Structure 1
Amino acid sequence: MSDAKRRVAEAAAELVEPGMRLGLGTGSTAALFIEALGRRVADGLDLPPAAATSRASEDAARRAGIAIIDMMGPDAPAELDLAIDGADEADPRLSLIKGGGASLLREKIVEALARRFVVIIDESKVVEQLGAFPLPVEIVPFGWASTAHLIRSRLGVEPQLREARGEVLKTDNGNFILDLPFGTIADPEATARTLAGIPGVVEHGLFIGMASEALVSDGQNVRRLTPA
């Protein structure tokens, strides 16, 4: 699906207008968007510094010649014009599962600031019902097993602590990720509310009511989806 990802990334880069305040997503498709946007910047597109959703995206943006806002500082924006990011799943209402790249907290902060949030995905990410992709949940390290127990008891799913290279993965924020293999999520809103009420949960990967539209490619064409 590399051709599909590249096509939606390039289509998304064409949405950017001079002077737009941007949010830059994280992941393989978002990285291609940053590359495509960098080519437009090199051709003269004038942009203010953008908000990146991970250290990886910050690095990619700098390599592409895109200036970055310090989101840890007092000048972090109150609003953005446009955010572009991928997703692990998108249903007909454009409710999303995100967090496969372990950047869901920063992604949700940045994308909540955007007046327009465009999701860029290939056809394999479009689903009728969320849940086949395990739902990422960012949690604080303290008492992580206790938090996993609370999730298990309240949602009836067995959390899996995410590892990378044989060690527990830590997010850019120093937190852990639990992946929840639901299979299907019958009620995403109720699941989101339950997770938000569990001590130790920092953020979950359900992005509900946030996406304005999606650009979807099969490798040949790009189509536009809006929430059903």
Structure 2
Amino acid sequence: MANSELRGLVDNEKRRAAAQALHWVSDGMLVGLGSGSTAAYFIQLLGEALQAGKLRVQATATSLASETLARSVGVPLLAPRRGLRFDLTVDGADEIDPQLTLIKGGGGALLREKVLATASDYLLIIADSSKLVPQLGQFPLPLEVVPFALPWVLDAVAQLGGEPTVRVDKKKAPQPALSDQGNLLVDCHFRSIPDPTELALQLQAIPGVVEHGLFLGLARAAIVAQEEKLLVLRPGVAPADAVDFTKLP
């Protein structure tokens, strides 16, 4: 299969997962908007539904890029404030294991993504089939790191076997990539993460690590497109056909 054909199939899966997630949005909801290419499809479809008068929602975005996209398609945005909780956050993932433990942050928005995920009553992940893995770790685990602490963070991650590399800004190479908060992004190549909970504790204990990309116990469900199938995955429950779900389970 040619690369262009494969990209087309993956994009189609992303669109289909995003379109199915729109069925889970109810009128009047406060919605968290994720980051990345799959979440972008959802934001676009949400904007179309709002413009057609099918829904009324308000939202907060997990990245400046998603915020800009949401404004462009007419999604009303809320600024962060005390007491603000979201009925539903829809976001993508870089890897999803069978327990719906996630690696996120490939786009550099892991801190805001985790803030909104923890401020949400329901986190729904949307993904193409390539994101499903039997065990996390092949995708590099992102960290957001305070610039001053970088050398010591790299040393500590290396001792954990993470093979850390500072992410480079593709548009401004060789300058380092920065998060929306102005912090550095470090990608840790563990290859395999058999115990995400233990690794999360170890990373949290490193001074200078603002946040890591392991999302533990946050996702309530995932809609995953697999060619012509659309599946709903939930922790401890057998996969189900997504067409059977038109609201939050």
TM-score normalised per structure 2: 0.87
1:25-80 deviation per Cα after TM superposition (whole angstroms, max 9, x unaligned): 00000000000111110111343421100000000101110011112xxx355311
Q: Which has the higher contact order (CA 8 A, sep 6+)?
A: 1
User: Alignment identity in percent?
Assistant: 44
2:185 is matched with which residue? 177
1:5 and 1:219 in contact (8 A); partners too: no
Q: 2:223 aligns with which of 211, 215, 223?
A: 215
1:87 maps to 2:96: no
Report matched runs for 1:47-66 at 5 Å.
Answer: 47-66=56-75
1:69 maps to 2:51: no
Moved over 6 A (4+): none
1:21 and 1:47 in contact (8 A); partners too: no
Q: 1:10 aligns with which of 16, 19, 38?
A: 19
> Gaps spanning 5+ residues in structure 1: where?
none
2:206 is matched with which residue? 198
Root mean square deviation of aligned Cα = 1.1
Q: Counterpart of 1:39 in 2: which secondary structure?
A: helix
Q: CA deviation at 1:108?
A: 0.2
- 2:219 aligned partner, one-letter code: A
Query: Partners of 2:56 and 2:198 in 1: how far apart?
Result: 39
1:69 and 1:76 in contact (8 A); partners too: no
Q: CA deviation at 1:87?
A: 0.1
- 2:107 aligned partner, one-letter code: G
Change (3 A) 1:200 1:16: same
> Gaps spanning 5+ residues in structure 2: where?
1-9, 237-249
Report matched runs for 1:23-42 at 5 Å.
Answer: 23-42=32-51
